[in-house]
Amino acid sequence: MRRGLSVRIPMLSNLPLLLPDMAGAVVGRIVPIVMNRSLLGEEDITLTDKLMVELLRIFNWAAGGHR
Residue 20 near residue 14, CB atoms below 8 Å? no
How many domains does the chain contain in total? Answer: 1
Does 54 fall in a domain? yes
Does 52 fall in a domain? yes
Residue 35 near residue 14, CB atoms below 8 Å? yes
Does 31 fall in a domain? no
Does 45 fall in a domain? yes
4 torsion bin: left (phi>0), alpha (psi -120 to 50), beta (else) = left
- pTM equals 0.43
Does 61 fall in a domain? yes
Mean pLDDT of 38-63: 92
63 or 23: which leads in pLDDT: 63
Does 47 fall in a domain? yes
With bands split at pLDDT 50, 70 and 90, how would you rate the model's confidence at 17?
A: confident
Reply yes or no on whether the pLDDT at 19 is more than 90.
no
Q: Which domain range does residue 47 map to?
A: 38-66
Reply yes or no on whether the pLDDT at 66 is more than 80.
no
